[in-house]
Amino acid sequence: MNSSALPNIPWEDRPHGCSEVVWRYSRNPIIPRNLIPSSNSIFNSAVVPFNGRFAGVFRCDNKKREMNLHRGFSEDGIQWHLDDTPITWQCKDPELARFEYRYDPRVVWLEDRYYITWCNGYHGPTIGIGYTFDFETFYFLENAFLPYNRNGVLFPRKINGHYMMLSRPSDRGHTPFGDIFLSQSPDLIHWGQHRFVMRPKEGWQSTKIGAGPIPIETSEGWLLFYHGVLTSCNGFVYSFGAALLDLDQPWKVIARGGPYLMSPQTLYECVGDVPNVVFPCATLYDPPTGRLAIYYGAADTVVALAFAYIDEVVDFVKSTNDL
Ligand code: BMA
Protein backbone atom coordinates (compact mmCIF):
# COMPACT_ATOMS: atom_id res chain seq x y z
CA MET A 1 0.00 0.00 0.00
CA ASN A 2 2.78 2.37 0.93
CA SER A 3 4.29 2.09 -2.51
CA SER A 4 1.19 2.63 -4.63
CA ALA A 5 0.18 6.03 -5.95
CA LEU A 6 -2.78 7.73 -4.33
CA PRO A 7 -3.73 10.57 -6.70
CA ASN A 8 -6.96 11.24 -4.78
CA ILE A 9 -5.18 11.84 -1.45
CA PRO A 10 -6.92 14.65 0.46
CA TRP A 11 -4.76 17.73 0.15
CA GLU A 12 -4.51 21.44 0.77
CA ASP A 13 -1.37 23.45 0.00
CA ARG A 14 0.68 24.94 2.81
CA PRO A 15 -0.80 28.35 3.61
CA HIS A 16 1.16 31.38 2.46
CA GLY A 17 3.51 32.60 5.15
CA CYS A 18 3.48 29.24 6.99
CA SER A 19 6.88 27.67 7.54
CA GLU A 20 5.72 24.63 9.54
CA VAL A 21 6.69 21.17 8.27
CA VAL A 22 3.16 19.96 9.16
CA TRP A 23 0.19 22.26 8.58
CA ARG A 24 -3.47 21.87 9.51
CA TYR A 25 -6.44 21.55 7.16
CA SER A 26 -8.23 24.90 7.14
CA ARG A 27 -11.64 23.27 7.64
CA ASN A 28 -10.74 21.17 10.67
CA PRO A 29 -12.15 19.30 12.43
CA ILE A 30 -13.27 16.96 9.63
CA ILE A 31 -15.36 14.74 11.93
CA PRO A 32 -17.45 16.43 14.62
CA ARG A 33 -18.10 14.67 17.91
CA ASN A 34 -21.76 14.10 17.06
CA LEU A 35 -21.44 12.79 13.48
CA ILE A 36 -23.50 9.74 14.47
CA PRO A 37 -26.44 9.81 16.89
CA SER A 38 -24.84 7.46 19.43
CA SER A 39 -21.53 9.29 19.83
CA ASN A 40 -20.22 11.47 22.62
CA SER A 41 -16.95 11.90 20.73
CA ILE A 42 -15.05 10.53 17.70
CA PHE A 43 -11.24 10.75 17.65
CA ASN A 44 -7.96 8.74 17.43
CA SER A 45 -9.07 6.88 14.29
CA ALA A 46 -7.47 5.10 11.32
CA VAL A 47 -8.14 5.34 7.60
CA VAL A 48 -6.83 3.52 4.50
CA PRO A 49 -7.33 3.71 0.73
CA PHE A 50 -10.03 1.22 -0.25
CA ASN A 51 -11.33 0.40 -3.75
CA GLY A 52 -10.58 3.86 -5.14
CA ARG A 53 -12.07 5.58 -2.13
CA PHE A 54 -11.38 5.39 1.59
CA ALA A 55 -12.40 3.23 4.53
CA GLY A 56 -11.60 3.44 8.18
CA VAL A 57 -12.02 2.23 11.72
CA PHE A 58 -13.06 4.96 14.10
CA ARG A 59 -12.91 5.32 17.84
CA CYS A 60 -16.38 6.36 18.95
CA ASP A 61 -17.11 6.84 22.62
CA ASN A 62 -20.86 6.59 23.12
CA LYS A 63 -23.12 8.47 25.48
CA LYS A 64 -22.59 5.85 28.16
CA ARG A 65 -18.89 6.68 27.60
CA GLU A 66 -18.17 3.17 26.36
CA MET A 67 -15.17 3.16 24.02
CA ASN A 68 -15.68 1.16 20.83
CA LEU A 69 -14.72 0.84 17.14
CA HIS A 70 -17.00 1.80 14.26
CA ARG A 71 -16.64 1.36 10.51
CA GLY A 72 -16.62 4.31 8.10
CA PHE A 73 -16.35 5.09 4.39
CA SER A 74 -15.49 8.23 2.45
CA GLU A 75 -15.27 9.26 -1.19
CA ASP A 76 -12.66 11.96 -0.59
CA GLY A 77 -11.06 11.18 2.78
CA ILE A 78 -12.62 14.28 4.31
CA GLN A 79 -16.37 13.73 4.48
CA TRP A 80 -17.03 10.50 6.34
CA HIS A 81 -20.03 8.24 6.80
CA LEU A 82 -19.83 6.12 9.93
CA ASP A 83 -22.04 3.29 11.12
CA ASP A 84 -24.00 4.23 14.20
CA THR A 85 -23.39 0.78 15.70
CA PRO A 86 -19.98 -0.66 16.57
CA ILE A 87 -18.16 -3.31 14.53
CA THR A 88 -19.11 -6.85 15.53
CA TRP A 89 -16.21 -9.27 15.47
CA GLN A 90 -16.19 -12.90 14.36
CA CYS A 91 -14.26 -14.77 17.07
CA LYS A 92 -13.18 -18.42 16.97
CA ASP A 93 -12.71 -18.31 20.73
CA PRO A 94 -15.74 -16.86 22.56
CA GLU A 95 -13.36 -15.68 25.28
CA LEU A 96 -12.18 -13.01 22.84
CA ALA A 97 -15.70 -11.73 22.29
CA ARG A 98 -15.95 -10.42 25.86
CA PHE A 99 -16.29 -6.67 25.57
CA GLU A 100 -14.54 -4.38 28.03
CA TYR A 101 -13.46 -1.55 25.75
CA ARG A 102 -11.85 -1.05 22.35
CA TYR A 103 -10.03 2.12 21.35
CA ASP A 104 -7.28 3.87 19.37
CA PRO A 105 -7.31 1.66 16.21
CA ARG A 106 -4.61 1.44 13.57
CA VAL A 107 -5.29 -0.16 10.15
CA VAL A 108 -2.70 -1.52 7.71
CA TRP A 109 -2.76 -3.34 4.38
CA LEU A 110 -0.48 -6.31 5.01
CA GLU A 111 -0.01 -9.00 2.35
CA ASP A 112 -3.60 -9.84 1.47
CA ARG A 113 -5.93 -8.05 3.89
CA TYR A 114 -6.41 -5.13 6.20
CA TYR A 115 -5.20 -5.76 9.72
CA ILE A 116 -6.57 -3.74 12.59
CA THR A 117 -4.82 -3.30 15.92
CA TRP A 118 -6.35 -1.49 18.86
CA CYS A 119 -6.15 -1.08 22.59
CA ASN A 120 -8.37 -3.92 23.77
CA GLY A 121 -9.74 -4.28 27.27
CA TYR A 122 -8.97 -7.79 28.51
CA HIS A 123 -8.62 -7.50 32.29
CA GLY A 124 -6.74 -4.31 31.53
CA PRO A 125 -5.52 -2.83 28.27
CA THR A 126 -3.71 -5.04 25.75
CA ILE A 127 -3.34 -5.03 21.96
CA GLY A 128 -6.12 -6.72 20.00
CA ILE A 129 -5.43 -7.83 16.43
CA GLY A 130 -8.16 -8.38 13.88
CA TYR A 131 -8.55 -8.30 10.13
CA THR A 132 -10.98 -7.71 7.32
CA PHE A 133 -10.84 -8.28 3.59
CA ASP A 134 -13.75 -6.07 2.67
CA PHE A 135 -14.78 -3.84 5.59
CA GLU A 136 -17.95 -5.93 5.79
CA THR A 137 -16.86 -8.88 7.93
CA PHE A 138 -14.33 -8.36 10.69
CA TYR A 139 -12.39 -11.20 12.34
CA PHE A 140 -10.81 -10.96 15.78
CA LEU A 141 -7.52 -12.87 15.60
CA GLU A 142 -6.02 -12.65 19.09
CA ASN A 143 -4.75 -10.49 21.88
CA ALA A 144 -1.09 -10.03 21.02
CA PHE A 145 0.38 -9.33 24.42
CA LEU A 146 -0.22 -9.76 28.12
CA PRO A 147 -1.81 -6.70 29.67
CA TYR A 148 -0.93 -3.93 30.13
CA ASN A 149 -0.08 -2.45 26.79
CA ARG A 150 -1.22 0.28 24.40
CA ASN A 151 -0.35 1.80 21.02
CA GLY A 152 0.24 -1.44 19.12
CA VAL A 153 1.32 -0.55 15.58
CA LEU A 154 2.15 -3.14 12.89
CA PHE A 155 4.76 -2.64 10.17
CA PRO A 156 3.25 -2.90 6.67
CA ARG A 157 5.39 -5.89 5.64
CA LYS A 158 7.42 -8.72 7.11
CA ILE A 159 11.02 -7.78 7.87
CA ASN A 160 13.60 -10.58 7.74
CA GLY A 161 10.76 -13.09 7.73
CA HIS A 162 8.98 -11.70 10.79
CA TYR A 163 5.88 -9.63 11.36
CA MET A 164 6.81 -6.72 13.56
CA MET A 165 4.81 -4.58 15.94
CA LEU A 166 5.65 -1.53 18.02
CA SER A 167 3.93 -1.19 21.37
CA ARG A 168 4.05 0.68 24.64
CA PRO A 169 3.90 -1.42 27.83
CA SER A 170 1.85 0.49 30.38
CA ASP A 171 -0.37 0.14 33.44
CA ARG A 172 -4.13 0.06 34.04
CA GLY A 173 -4.52 3.80 34.45
CA HIS A 174 -3.44 7.03 32.84
CA THR A 175 0.10 5.73 32.67
CA PRO A 176 2.73 8.27 33.80
CA PHE A 177 5.59 6.50 31.96
CA GLY A 178 6.19 4.67 28.69
CA ASP A 179 8.85 3.56 26.24
CA ILE A 180 8.34 2.17 22.74
CA PHE A 181 9.29 -1.49 22.25
CA LEU A 182 9.21 -3.78 19.20
CA SER A 183 8.03 -7.40 19.14
CA GLN A 184 8.36 -10.02 16.40
CA SER A 185 6.12 -12.86 15.26
CA PRO A 186 6.06 -15.67 12.69
CA ASP A 187 2.24 -15.71 12.53
CA LEU A 188 0.78 -12.53 14.11
CA ILE A 189 -0.35 -14.65 17.08
CA HIS A 190 2.82 -15.55 18.97
CA TRP A 191 4.99 -12.54 19.78
CA GLY A 192 8.54 -12.46 21.14
CA GLN A 193 12.11 -11.36 20.41
CA HIS A 194 11.21 -8.07 22.10
CA ARG A 195 13.55 -5.15 21.46
CA PHE A 196 13.78 -1.71 23.01
CA VAL A 197 13.23 1.16 20.56
CA MET A 198 13.18 4.46 22.43
CA ARG A 199 12.31 6.20 25.67
CA PRO A 200 10.95 9.64 26.59
CA LYS A 201 13.32 12.58 26.64
CA GLU A 202 13.16 16.14 27.91
CA GLY A 203 10.53 18.66 26.88
CA TRP A 204 7.40 17.82 24.87
CA GLN A 205 8.05 14.05 25.15
CA SER A 206 9.29 13.87 28.74
CA THR A 207 6.55 11.72 30.34
CA LYS A 208 5.79 8.97 27.79
CA ILE A 209 5.87 8.23 24.08
CA GLY A 210 3.85 5.92 21.83
CA ALA A 211 3.89 4.90 18.17
CA GLY A 212 1.32 6.68 16.01
CA PRO A 213 0.43 5.75 12.42
CA ILE A 214 1.78 2.70 10.53
CA PRO A 215 5.51 3.35 9.78
CA ILE A 216 6.21 4.44 6.20
CA GLU A 217 9.09 2.87 4.29
CA THR A 218 11.52 5.43 2.82
CA SER A 219 15.04 5.11 1.39
CA GLU A 220 16.28 6.73 4.63
CA GLY A 221 14.54 4.28 6.98
CA TRP A 222 11.06 3.68 8.40
CA LEU A 223 9.43 7.03 9.06
CA LEU A 224 7.60 6.82 12.39
CA PHE A 225 5.29 9.54 13.65
CA TYR A 226 4.86 9.14 17.40
CA HIS A 227 3.11 11.01 20.17
CA GLY A 228 4.99 12.45 23.10
CA VAL A 229 3.49 13.56 26.38
CA LEU A 230 4.61 16.11 28.94
CA THR A 231 3.11 16.67 32.38
CA SER A 232 2.13 20.25 33.11
CA CYS A 233 0.51 21.70 36.24
CA ASN A 234 -2.83 21.05 34.46
CA GLY A 235 -2.11 17.47 33.40
CA PHE A 236 -0.86 15.71 30.29
CA VAL A 237 -0.11 17.55 27.01
CA TYR A 238 0.01 15.32 23.89
CA SER A 239 2.11 16.46 20.90
CA PHE A 240 3.62 14.48 18.05
CA GLY A 241 6.98 14.27 16.33
CA ALA A 242 8.86 11.84 14.11
CA ALA A 243 11.83 9.48 14.01
CA LEU A 244 13.58 7.27 11.46
CA LEU A 245 14.07 3.56 12.21
CA ASP A 246 16.55 1.19 10.56
CA LEU A 247 14.97 -0.64 7.60
CA ASP A 248 16.28 -4.11 8.55
CA GLN A 249 16.45 -3.76 12.33
CA PRO A 250 13.66 -1.29 13.04
CA TRP A 251 14.31 -1.24 16.80
CA LYS A 252 17.42 0.80 15.95
CA VAL A 253 16.67 4.53 15.82
CA ILE A 254 18.62 6.30 13.07
CA ALA A 255 17.44 9.82 13.91
CA ARG A 256 14.85 11.48 16.14
CA GLY A 257 13.54 14.99 15.48
CA GLY A 258 14.23 17.30 18.43
CA PRO A 259 11.20 19.64 18.29
CA TYR A 260 7.62 18.43 17.98
CA LEU A 261 5.94 18.59 14.57
CA MET A 262 2.58 19.56 16.07
CA SER A 263 1.44 20.50 19.56
CA PRO A 264 -2.11 21.30 20.68
CA GLN A 265 -2.65 24.94 19.74
CA THR A 266 -6.03 25.41 18.09
CA LEU A 267 -9.34 25.65 19.91
CA TYR A 268 -10.42 22.16 18.83
CA GLU A 269 -7.14 20.70 20.12
CA CYS A 270 -7.21 22.60 23.41
CA VAL A 271 -10.90 22.44 24.28
CA GLY A 272 -12.83 19.19 24.48
CA ASP A 273 -13.26 16.18 26.73
CA VAL A 274 -9.50 15.99 27.30
CA PRO A 275 -7.86 19.35 26.59
CA ASN A 276 -4.47 19.67 24.91
CA VAL A 277 -4.26 16.47 22.87
CA VAL A 278 -3.13 15.86 19.29
CA PHE A 279 -2.93 12.09 18.70
CA PRO A 280 -2.12 10.79 15.17
CA CYS A 281 -3.29 7.26 14.28
CA ALA A 282 -3.07 7.17 10.47
CA THR A 283 -1.48 8.67 7.38
CA LEU A 284 -2.28 8.50 3.69
CA TYR A 285 0.69 8.77 1.33
CA ASP A 286 1.07 9.48 -2.38
CA PRO A 287 4.64 8.51 -3.34
CA PRO A 288 4.75 10.29 -6.76
CA THR A 289 4.09 13.69 -5.15
CA GLY A 290 5.44 12.94 -1.66
CA ARG A 291 2.19 14.17 -0.17
CA LEU A 292 1.14 12.98 3.28
CA ALA A 293 -2.24 13.41 4.94
CA ILE A 294 -2.08 12.88 8.71
CA TYR A 295 -5.28 11.96 10.62
CA TYR A 296 -5.24 12.84 14.28
CA GLY A 297 -7.60 12.96 17.21
CA ALA A 298 -7.97 16.40 18.80
CA ALA A 299 -8.77 16.90 22.49
CA ASP A 300 -10.18 13.33 22.64
CA THR A 301 -13.28 14.76 20.96
CA VAL A 302 -12.97 15.15 17.15
CA VAL A 303 -10.92 13.96 14.16
CA ALA A 304 -8.68 16.48 12.38
CA LEU A 305 -6.42 16.41 9.34
CA ALA A 306 -2.95 17.82 8.64
CA PHE A 307 -0.61 17.74 5.66
CA ALA A 308 3.10 17.46 4.98
CA TYR A 309 5.61 16.46 2.32
CA ILE A 310 7.42 13.26 3.25
CA ASP A 311 10.83 14.56 2.11
CA GLU A 312 10.45 17.61 4.33
CA VAL A 313 9.56 15.43 7.32
CA VAL A 314 12.58 13.18 6.69
CA ASP A 315 14.83 16.25 6.32
CA PHE A 316 13.36 17.69 9.53
CA VAL A 317 14.10 14.49 11.47
CA LYS A 318 17.68 14.37 10.16
CA SER A 319 18.46 18.07 10.51
CA THR A 320 17.05 18.35 14.05
CA ASN A 321 18.28 14.91 15.09
CA ASP A 322 18.50 14.76 18.85
CA LEU A 323 19.19 11.09 19.65
C1 BMA B 1 -4.38 7.83 26.28
C2 BMA B 1 -5.44 7.15 25.44
C3 BMA B 1 -5.75 8.00 24.24
C4 BMA B 1 -6.06 9.42 24.65
C5 BMA B 1 -5.01 9.97 25.55
C6 BMA B 1 -5.33 11.34 26.07
O7 BMA B 1 -4.12 7.10 27.45
O8 BMA B 1 -6.62 6.96 26.19
O9 BMA B 1 -6.87 7.47 23.61
O10 BMA B 1 -6.12 10.24 23.49
O11 BMA B 1 -4.83 9.11 26.65
O12 BMA B 1 -6.47 11.30 26.89
For 78-91, write each residue's pLDDT tens digit: 999 999 999 999 99
- Is residue 9 in some structural domain? no
Task: Name all contacts of 292-295 with Cβ < 8 Å and 24+ positions apart.
Answer: 292/216, 293/9, 293/10, 293/11, 293/77, 294/22, 294/213, 294/225, 295/45, 295/46, 295/47, 295/213
Dist. CA 51 → ligand 1 center (Å): 31
Q: How confident is the model at residue 3 (pLDDT cuts 50, 70, 90)?
A: low
* Residues in contact with 157: Cβ distance below 8 Å, sequence separation at least 6, in sequence order: 110, 111, 217
The CATH number linked to 291 is: 2.115.10.20
Query: Is 304 contained in some domain?
Result: yes
Ligand 1 pocket test: which of 33, 40, 44, 120 has the largest number of ligand atoms within 8 Å of its C-beta?
A: 44
**Index of the ligand 1 atom closest to the CA of residue 103:** 9
What is the secondary structure of 74-115 as a DSSP string?
ESSSSS-EE-SSPPPEEESSHHHH--S-EEEEEEEEETTEEE
Q: Is residue 251 part of a domain?
A: yes
- Quick: pLDDT tens for 221-251: 999 999 999 999 999 999 999 999 999 999 9
* Structural domain boundaries enclosing 236: 32-320
Distance (Å) from CA 154 to ligand 1 centroid: 19
Ligand 1 binding pocket includes 103 (Cβ within 6 Å): yes
Q: What is the mean pLDDT of residues 113-128?
A: 98
Q: Decide if 42 is inside a domain.
A: yes
Q: Is residue 19 part of a domain?
A: no
Residue 10 lies in a domain: no
The answer to whether residue 138 sits within a structural domain is yes
Number of domains the chain contains: 1
User: Which protein residue has the closest C-alpha to ligand 1 atom 12?
Assistant: 274
Task: Give the residue with greater pLDDT, 49 vs 97.
Answer: 49
User: Residue 13: inside a domain, yes or no?
Assistant: no
